[in-house]
A and B are shown apart, each in its own frame.
Chain A
Amino acid sequence: MKIYESSVKKPVTTALIFVAIVVLGLFSFSKLSVDLYPKIELNAATVMTTYSGASAMDIEQNVTKRLETSLSTVSDLKRISSTSKDNVSLITVEFEYGTNMDEAVNDIRAVLDMQRNFLPDDCESPVVLKFSSDMMPIAFISAHAGVSSEGLYKILDEKVANPLNRIDGVASTSISGAPQREIQISADPQKMEAYKLSIEQLSNLISMENRNIPAGSIDVGSNTYSVRVDGEFKESEEIQNLIVGSYQGKNIYMKDVATIKDTLKERSTEIYTNGERGATIVVQKQSGANVVEIADKINAALPGIQKSLPPDVKLEMVLDTSEFIKDSISSLTETVLLAGLFVMIVVLFFLGRWRATFIIILTIPVSLVAAFIYLMVTGNTLNIISLSSLSIAIGMVVDDAIVVLENITTHIERGSKPKDAAIYATNEVAVAVIASTLTIISVFFPLTMVSGLAGIMFKQLGWIVTIIISISVLAALTLTPMLSSIMLKADPKRSKAFQYFYSPIERMLDGLDRAYASALKWCVNNRFKVMGGALVLFLVSLVLVAKVGTDFFPASDNSQIGVTVELPVGSRVEQARKLNTYLFEMWKKKYPEVEILQASLGQSDGSNVFMSLRTSGSHIITYTAKLSKPENRKRDIFDISDEMRKDLSATPEVYRYTVTPGGSSGMGMGSGGTTLEMDVLGYNFEDAESVAKQVSDIMKKTEGLRDVKLSREDYMPQFKVEFDRDKLAMNGITMTSAATVVRNRINGIITTKFREEGEEYDIVVRNDQKYRTTVDDINNILIFNTQGKAVRLSELGNVVENFAPPSIEHLDRERVIKVTGSVYKRSLGDIATDVNTAVAKIDMPPLITASVSGAVEEQQESFADMFTLLALVILLTYIVMASQFESFRDPFIIMFSLPFAFTGVFVALWLTGTTLSLIALIGAVMLVGIVVKNGIVLIDYINLNKERGASVKRSVISGGKSRLRPVIMTTATTILGMVPMAMGIGAGSEIWQPMGIAIIGGLTLSTLLTLIVIPTIYTSFHAGDIKRKRKAWAKKINELKAV
């Protein structure tokens, strides 16, 4: 028994199977967590090595270069880039997409372990940081305080960070902007010299005095007692009275040679929220946890936490990533529902029957719900990709049901009992329905195999649509006949009111059928005119290809702007503070859209990985502006950013600046603007610099580029201590010990920690601030040799003043200067072409090269992937069609509708001023499957007429006439299903808009032309069929006669 037969005969089983699917789907839906994107494992890992006190050059030579060379042996490596700046070396190892990152990170660790011994002694162990979208902070909470600001760190750590950490799903919270406690021992070098003491001695002494030692246990009588020596400081004041030595029989105390301060760290990040100094708590979630749920819990917990804080400490949620997610998801849900409504209206419009409409519409929830089961089983989330997939599929799931139901209705009208009609009518169309579904699957299934960034994005789309469409064909072959056999009647009575509304529609549809038949008649008789016209149209549309710009990802408005402002290098932090107040006052007035403006300035304290990855320095201010919701304001983030740029150029103190619409929080995908990046590679600093300057001049002149800047910052003034090796040797001092002495005097030495209430605080020993201000202070540093003899630094070498680049970047182990510019209202592809032609004219010094990278490179790679995919999809659909028609010729004829689909895509993009982005390209790929479906329906019926013995022309005309409605109907459901997406209403919808526009444009034009051109081409191809048959027959008869 065939599947549709048994389903009609066992309506209870059939109904309950689908009920089970729906229940399982809804259950999965309730368990699904919500996120913005599918889980993206970024294909990069960063190796961070801190070497406090080292300059960029030192870091480059001693750390970065060594590690880079050995890291480049790791397998599946795509490229390796690095930044060496003061104190830190950051190496980013990028792998091919799809590499197993756990293995890759293990490989990296193995390499680092091997290199560990070759790194400088004071250099800390390299740390491997693996990034994934999960690690992006989900919330920023700002805190500002009045009188309690001294102890803010401790208050926040205990009362805010800890309770937040206990929330399920929160991985970590870190506090920045609140300086941590530190015990500073500031030594007076002159007194130390008088007493013949050194910083190292002090430091060792403190470390020796500050120790708890368990001394074992003794038995006293029948009891055992443990013996302890608790030598650790109980109060920081105890340090003052440590005896550091004796001079002429008198004790020398610590307080005699140094000032002991229990205070806050010297250099740290300052954070201002809406102009007020405060701290920020950064919350990260655990991998796989539900952002929205956690954010809700945090929001619920905050009022309680607020109550436990001192009254002057105020907490405020600055950034809540869940808001954008919630908005995007709810606007997408709206899109899906709206699409469903449109589809329902179309079906009712064409069928004019409530019951039939109900049966068809029922396939929508049944098949869509199956997607939730898939998401649940594979551990995915409900995100904008999965929801958009639903909205893409919604117009297509009804197609199969429509075809089946239409045939059942025809059978019933001919007089069959609904039950028989359901079985036999389904039997007749089953093969055609499966074939047309296979064409759709052959488009979407290859999407699951795409590599690269596009692969990550579209894997889910491919799976979801494939699953939904498979379930929909199953429903069309079982549920639809079953319901038809029960619900459809031989002669449905329409109410008078319905008849009143519907009869004009019916008349119009009939008129349309007739008009189409006569148009078709003219066309098949004037075949060359029609084909010539179509060819001309296609060629004309090719002109548009050049007019439509290309982009990587459409930009979207996520209500965030990131701004980095730089003062001249070496400016003191006080200058930055002044500028910050000025900018804040100005922007507060000019941009009422900005709800929260957060600024951070000053040297990063390095305690927080996330913060230390940003460029920081006393001369840099970083802003994060949070704007009101897009629908509540007229200017979008791109306009406001451009205004801000004008403000900044008008401020004389500002040395340079970057304004990043969408925020600087990395992950350029789909939020905010894109940037163009040119890499200037070469070892020689001066040559590379001059080329980079020329490139940046070119880019500044290029239309549509803003914020052009070089990645290499200005040279930073530095003092370089040059020891004379001979003199060192004469005094019995090694280079390392001399250098360490200098480092300990200036940077300080930490050998022990002060413990209080379970917390640890650093005890730093170094020269007092006032003895660290001039070159003479460095020259005067005393260095002790092994015999205990003190030598001044000036006797061992010189202190030279020169300039060092503050950061040195490498790309694939070569020095690089990146020239970047943000794109404003022009397509990335066009800009890249302009810049490339101009850069090619530069007269390059030897060994210096310039090339495009960044988003343009990603775009080229992804576009290449897409074209391979397109070829694969076309081949697959051809195979499906050829096997359905058992012919090479007919699928070829159907393929003629593809060029017009692409014509439609370009026309639609051009008319709406949209650029050809990766998303629009995916739309074009999908079109292949959707468009040939119409051709299949048409050609299938024309073939059927021909097999029934009609002439080619008659078959074409009558076949076309009878298939007009199904073609228009399925096309209309698909197009209208996409309309809400193409209109782009709601948050984050800009991303999918190009796809909607591309599909609507392509499908509309190609359907119109398919209806005219395909029958014409078919006639031309098959016109000779009958003649050929006759000829063959005549030949045979002649042969027989001859015998």
Chain B
Amino acid sequence: MKSIMIIYNQAHSTLVQQALDKCDVRGFTKWVDVQGRGSDKGEPHYGTHAWPSINMAIMAIVEPEILTILLSELKEINSSAEKHGLRAFVWEAESAI
């Protein structure tokens, strides 16, 4: 089992939701109004006057075979509008209750 954290511009919210549904990912946790900025050239997302955009974050625990499909879906979303910004980070989920 892998844990995936998707942090994305809230403008992508519908698309990300659709991707999760498409890959049959049932369980997830979502944070709205998340702030941050990209390490390389990504714009800040602060929800302020200067940087009005804001992020959302979703964490889900998925099976590895689903993960690859999900990642490719997410990649497609990101490339559709690179300026908005979408990042996904994956790490091992060791155990669950």
Chain B residues near A420 (CB, 8 Å)?
A: 10-14
Interchain CB contact (< 8 A) of B81 among A414, A424, A943, A948: A414
Complex contact A944–B83 (CB within 8 A)? no
Complex contact A947–B49 (CB within 8 A)? yes
Q: Give Cα A411 to B13, complex, Å.
A: 14
Q: Is A310 in contact with chain B by the CB < 8 A criterion?
A: no
Q: Give Cα A427 to B10, complex, Å.
A: 12
Chain A residues near B53 (CB, 8 Å)?
A: 424, 428
Say whether, besides A415-B80, A416-B84, A947-B49, A424 and B14 are in contact (CB < 8 Å). no
From 56 to 97 in chain B, residues with beta carbon under 8 angstroms from any chain A beta carbon are 80-84
Complex contact B11–A411 (CB within 8 A)? yes
The 7 closest A-B pairs by CB, nearest first: A415-B81, A947-B50, A428-B52, A416-B11, A420-B11, A414-B83, A948-B50
Q: How many residues of B contact A (CB 8 A)?
A: 18
The secondary structure that dominates the A interface is: helix
- 18 further contact pairs, Cβ within 8 A, besides A415-B11, A424-B11: A414-B11, A414-B81, A414-B84, A415-B82, A415-B84, A416-B12, A416-B81, A416-B84, A417-B11, A417-B14, A420-B10, A420-B12, A420-B13, A421-B11, A424-B10, A947-B49, A947-B50, A948-B50
Chain A residues near B31 (CB, 8 Å)?
A: none
Chain B residues near A943 (CB, 8 Å)?
A: 49-50
Q: Is B15 in contact with chain A by the CB < 8 A criterion?
A: yes
Could you mark each residue 581-622 of chain A with 1 if its beta carbon is under 8 Å from any beta carbon of chain B, else 0? 000000000000000000000000000000000000000000
9 examples of A-B residue contacts, CB within 8 angstroms: A411-B11, A415-B11, A415-B84, A417-B14, A420-B12, A424-B53, A427-B52, A944-B50, A948-B50
Residues of A within 8 A of B (CB): 411, 414-417, 419-421, 424, 427-428, 943-944, 947-948
Complex contact B49–A944 (CB within 8 A)? yes
Chain B residues near A415 (CB, 8 Å)?
A: 11, 80-84
Q: How close is A612's CB to chain B, nearest CB, in angstroms?
A: 70
Q: Give Cα A427 to B13, complex, Å.
A: 15
Chain B residues near A944 (CB, 8 Å)?
A: 49-50
Residue of B nearest to A885 (CB): B49
Residue of A nearest to B43 (CB): A948
Chain A residues near B13 (CB, 8 Å)?
A: 420
Residue of B nearest to A419 (CB): B14
Interchain CB contact (< 8 A) of A417 among B15, B48, B54, B82: B15
Q: Give Cα A421 to B14, complex, Å.
A: 11
Q: Give Cα A183 to B8, complex, Å.
A: 103
Chain B residues near A414 (CB, 8 Å)?
A: 11, 81, 83-84
Residue of B nearest to A424 (CB): B11
Q: Give Cα A948 to B14, complex, Å.
A: 28
Residue of A nearest to B53 (CB): A424
Could you mark each residue 1-33 of chain B with 1 if its beta carbon is under 8 Å from any beta carbon of chain A, else 0? 000000000111111000000000000000000
Residue of B nearest to A415 (CB): B81
Q: How close is B85's CB to chain A, nearest CB, in angstroms?
A: 10
Q: Give Cα A491 to B52, complex, Å.
A: 24
Chain B residues near A427 (CB, 8 Å)?
A: 52
Chain B residues near A947 (CB, 8 Å)?
A: 48-50
Q: How close is A421's CB to chain B, nearest CB, in angstroms?
A: 6
Q: How close is B21's CB to chain A, nearest CB, in angstroms?
A: 15
Chain B residues near A417 (CB, 8 Å)?
A: 11, 14-15
Q: Give Cα A428 to B52, complex, Å.
A: 6
Chain B residues near A428 (CB, 8 Å)?
A: 52-53
Q: Give Cα A424 to B14, complex, Å.
A: 12
Q: Give Cα A189 to B76, complex, Å.
A: 122
Chain B residues near A948 (CB, 8 Å)?
A: 50-51
Q: Give Cα A424 to B13, complex, Å.
A: 11
Chain B residues near A419 (CB, 8 Å)?
A: 14
Q: Give Cα A428 to B11, complex, Å.
A: 12
Residue of B nearest to A945 (CB): B50
Q: Give Cα A414 to B81, complex, Å.
A: 6
Q: Give Cα A947 to B51, complex, Å.
A: 9
Q: How close is B82's CB to chain A, nearest CB, in angstroms?
A: 8
